[in-house]
Chains A and B, each alone.
Chain A
């Protein structure tokens, strides 16, 4: 059984650019969520996808968007990058009845 895998592990982008982060969910998990973790803080909920539909969103602007594919893998897209978007982006998957998430190791995004 594989866990949650994310790519890339590190990324440096310039302010104003766009970025796409990718996530493969754990086998058997059909729900994917994305979290943003700033340095020294706990993860903040961005949004959740279930059966290819966004079914919940946190306090993030529309320039944060996502997709979930039929195989339950997912993408996080961020447009018009700002310096404050620099953070660790975590993907987490669970079954639809599961309470606990399995997290990936994250993508560390630096915006300069």
Chain B
């Protein structure tokens, strides 16, 4: 079993839809939870990160972490064609300057006009 599981999709939605992306994990020691966006032929770009459980909002993006269920989510409101990319969840224990990120496989999202 992988430490982080993520549905690879692809997910296809119309412009303006609300998108929900999810990951589950098995390591209860993870403390920081991140979402990265990766466009084709580019490196991952950090969208937002959350420490421990709770919600965090940044513009059209909302990240949720439920440590009791070992489940994290990213919601995208009013999705745009420019949101079409692969979304990677990542998590880490981050101790003493040692920061190994464990990534999910990524979910491919296509937003069509």
A contact residues vs B (CB 8 Å cutoff) = 4, 31, 33, 35, 40-45, 48, 50, 55-56, 58, 90, 92, 94, 96-97, 99-106
Number of residues from B at the complex interface, CB < 8 A: 28
Q: How many A-B residue pairs have CB under 8 A?
A: 68
Task: Tell whether B103 is near chain A: CB-to-CB under 8 Å.
Answer: yes
Query: Residue B92 contacts which of A44, A50, A99, A103 (CB distance < 8 angstroms)?
Result: A99
What 18 new A-B contacts, CB under 8 Å, besides A42-B106, A48-B100, A106-B43? A33-B99, A33-B100, A40-B8, A42-B6, A42-B103, A42-B105, A48-B98, A48-B99, A55-B98, A56-B98, A99-B32, A99-B94, A100-B46, A100-B49, A101-B46, A103-B45, A105-B41, A105-B42
B contact residues vs A (CB 8 Å cutoff) = 4, 6, 8, 32, 34, 36, 41-46, 49, 51, 88, 90, 92, 94, 97-106
Q: Considering residues A44, A90, A103, A104, which has the most beta carbons from chain B within 10 angstroms of its beta carbon?
A: A103
Q: Give Cα A23 to B34, complex, Å.
A: 23
Q: Give Cα A96 to B99, complex, Å.
A: 9
A contact residues around B6 at 8 Å (CB): 42
Instruction: Please provide the 10 A-B residue pairs with the shortest distance between their CB atoms, ordered closest to farther.
Output: A42-B103, A103-B43, A100-B46, A56-B98, A105-B43, A45-B100, A96-B97, A103-B44, A99-B32, A42-B105
